[in-house]
Amino acid sequence: MKFAAASLALASLLMCGCCTVATSHDFRGTRVDGNANPVAVLAIENSGWYLFGFIPIITGNPDNPGHVKIFSDTVTLENNIKMLANKAHEEKATNIANLTSRVRDDLAIGLFIFGRKQVFTSAVITK
């Protein structure tokens, strides 16, 4: 029974480190700041679990969104901006507007032993 509980806990932990890039192209003819033509809205999130708040256990993989990395500190603002730039280049956008980012550390899980870190970035890419 203990083995099953430990396996379930490990499996749920492995599911929690994540990296996603979501896009929306539905503007219905609307323009953005500077009268630019919007290409897409991008929403990028990278998260992971850390031991004592600074030792990475499992994190999102910015090189392959939707997958994880083990013991790699990938939950950084720099990685989110790189993913944003890569997606903008892929969409053939020339400008970035309304860029916002938020970094969040939650270290109160399990008496400060485990913590979750998240970085969220969003922007409108334009031509």
Whole-number pLDDT of residue 78: 97
**Encoding tokens for residue 35?**
């009268």
Q: What is the mean pLDDT of the chain?
A: 86
Q: What is the pLDDT, as a whole number, of residue 29?
A: 77
Residue 122 amino acid letter: S
Structure tokens at 100: 């916002």
> Across-strand partners of 124?
41, 97
Over range 31-42, report the average pLDDT. 84
Q: Is the pLDDT of residue 11 over 80?
A: no
pTM above 0.85, yes or no: no
Q: Are 49 and 108 in contact (CB under 8 A)?
A: no
pLDDT band for position 71 (cuts 50, 70, 90): very high
